[in-house]
Structure 1
Amino acid sequence: MGHFKQFAFKKFGYADFSPTIGNLFSQPDFSGFVKIAFVKAGVKAVIDFKEYQLLQDALFFINGGQYYQFDETSTGTILYYNRDFYCVALHDAEVACDGILFNNVYDIPVILMDEKTSAEMESIFKEIKTEWQEEESSMEEMLRILLKRIIIKSTRIWKKDHRVTTDEARQEVEFSRTFSQLVALHYSKHHTVAAYADLLHITPKALNKRITRYSDTTPNDIIKNRIILEAKRLLVHTSLSVKEIGYKLGYDDPSYFVRLFTNQADNSPQSFRMQYQRESGIENQESR
């Protein structure tokens, strides 16, 4: 069952996992919400075609427009909110609405928790549910404070897991976040490392050096992966033709787009679409 509140333009809600939660979030009205999913161990999750077998309790940070699927047997809670509800000032960039957990060039943000951390997080989720019952005038601010606690604690865990412990490392993470934001904004227009280097006022060589300092993934990989991810989304969640998808992603030559997709995905666009439909059934069960 979902619980939802609106404070002027600010929207916030939560829903406990149930067999029907996919139906709740499959509605178009939910597609633009940012979501934080607390999921207990022992189930499978799929976020944008990447599969996770959860051996530990986990937190997933899901941007608006990302597709996800959780097993029907999943237990836990999903929080969902719009940017008007939570988007902190620039001096708190790491934990902002577009912070490390929501714009990350290295991986889909997931926090795997030990027993102690999971209990601490679960306690905050319970506080949110308790606050829901109070109907106090300060409820909106208290919900925002509790949400920020989840994001701050999760950001600290992510930084520790990724050994972001020095000022230099923090600067590089912030740089990668900026690059990630640019790719998210311009992937259908800018397809080259040089284009993003120009936006960042550095050379392509310098951009490559900074992004690969903490990862084997190159800027070109990140750009192409984002383009192919959007192509996959459009292939399986829309009825657009391969040619139309290519145009939408900025490719005037359909054959070039097909070659690019095939090289990156090891499958042609049409074959990918047909394979996905066969594996998931004609009726798509993913929600967003």
Structure 2
Amino acid sequence: MIKEFSYKQFGNLEFTQSSLDEHKLLSVHDHIKILFIPEGNKVRVDFQEFVIATDSLLFINPKVVIKPNDAEETGGTLLHFNKDFYCIEIHDQEVACDGILYNNVFEVPFIELDENQSADIQKIIRDIQLEMQNEDASTEEMLRILLKLIILKSTRIWKQQHQLSQQEQQTDVQFLRKFSKLVEQHYKTHHTVADYADMLFLTPKNLSKKIGLLSKDTPNDIIKNRIILESKRLLAHTTITVKEIAYSLNYQDDAYFVRFFTKNAGISPLSFRKQF
């Protein structure tokens, strides 16, 4: 089902191979998404496959390509919404769509749920599905409240799982989110650690030190990985040339871009494209 409130859109889909077709996923490609997926299932996120060991939530930005990857699935639920529905309002940063769950270039943002947490989230999802059947004046706000509740609870769980729940560690969360957001905004035009250090008013050495406390990857690795991911998306899901891809990522020398991609992806751009 999908609800439309003027320009605001909110909906939910059953996330199984049997119920989803390519058209349905394309229709919500530009939406922000939350996927609840039960244990034992498999899901493909961009170019990675994940086997879900326990009931989990996955937070998915627009343009990320996802699909169920298991014919024996027990089924998940995909909540999807556009920015007009939720982000147009001024929310607390922790639970806005620019919060840590949607600005995290360090990892695929899974939230693993224990039995009680899973039951809690599934109840909220059922409440959402029931509310989707209503047509009164309060429906839009009720859906938004339930959506915010999932994001708020998930943010708390994520911080606990990453030992970032104590008050004195909030600056670490804020810095991680800020750096992630900058990489997501500027990876097409800014390729060096020094670029981001300048934006954060740090030296490259201090930026690397701070990121080293939060991630096993260096800032340079994080920037390169984001560029490679976008390159793979363009190679797999568009027909534009390698030279055009290089130019779109601010590489004037396409031969240099080919060497950069091959070194970091372990395969040439054209060979990667042939896989799709």
- Taking structure 2 as the reference length, the TM-score comes to 0.94
Instruction: Check whether the contact 2:105–2:226 (CA below 8 A) recurs between aligned residues.
Output: no
Paired position in structure 2 for 1:25 = 24
Separation of aligned partners in 2, 1:198 and 1:103: 20
Separation of aligned partners in 2, 1:39 and 1:165: 25
Separation of aligned partners in 2, 1:108 and 1:273: 23
The alpha-carbon deviation at position 134 of structure 1 amounts to 2.4
Paired position in structure 2 for 1:232 = 232
Separation of aligned partners in 2, 1:26 and 1:117: 27
1:273 match: secondary structure: helix
1:45 match: secondary structure: strand
Residue 40 of structure 2 aligns to which amino acid in structure 1?
G
Separation of aligned partners in 2, 1:112 and 1:53: 12
1:78 match: secondary structure: strand
Alignment of 1:246-285 (within 5 A): 246-274=246-274, 276-277=275-276
Q: Which runs of 5+ in 1 are unaligned?
A: 278-288
Instruction: Check whether the contact 2:36–2:58 (CA below 8 A) recurs between aligned residues.
Output: yes
Alignment of 1:109-188 (within 5 A): 109-188=109-188
Higher relative contact order (CA 8 A, sep 6+): 1
Q: Deviations over 1:22-56 (max 9, x none)?
A: 334333x4221001111112221111212210121
Percent of pairs identical after alignment? 50
Paired position in structure 2 for 1:53 = 51
Instruction: Check whether the contact 1:36–1:80 (CA below 8 A) recurs between aligned residues.
Output: yes
Q: Single out whichever of 14-23 and 115-124 deviates more from structure 2.
A: 14-23
Paired position in structure 1 for 2:76 = 76
Q: Which runs of 5+ in 2 are unaligned?
A: none
Aligned length in residues: 272
1:38 match: secondary structure: strand
Separation of aligned partners in 2, 1:79 and 1:16: 9
Paired position in structure 1 for 2:203 = 203
The alpha-carbon deviation at position 220 of structure 1 amounts to 0.7
Paired position in structure 2 for 1:284 = none
Separation of aligned partners in 1, 2:125 and 2:52: 19
Separation of aligned partners in 2, 1:67 and 1:133: 28
Separation of aligned partners in 2, 1:214 and 1:76: 31
Separation of aligned partners in 1, 2:24 and 2:177: 28
Tell me the C-alpha RMSD between the 2 structures.
Answer: 1.4
2:231 match: secondary structure: helix
Q: Deviations over 1:234-276 (max 9, x none)?
A: 01001111111111111011111111111111111111122x2
Separation of aligned partners in 1, 2:76 and 2:46: 20
Paired position in structure 2 for 1:281 = none
The alpha-carbon deviation at position 117 of structure 1 amounts to 1.2
Separation of aligned partners in 1, 2:36 and 2:78: 6
Instruction: Check whether the contact 2:32–2:61 (CA below 8 A) recurs between aligned residues.
Output: yes
2:21 match: secondary structure: helix
Paired position in structure 2 for 1:39 = 37
Instruction: Check whether the contact 1:105–1:176 (CA below 8 A) recurs between aligned residues.
Output: no
Residue 224 of structure 2 aligns to which amino acid in structure 1?
K
Separation of aligned partners in 2, 1:268 and 1:23: 27
The alpha-carbon deviation at position 125 of structure 1 amounts to 0.3
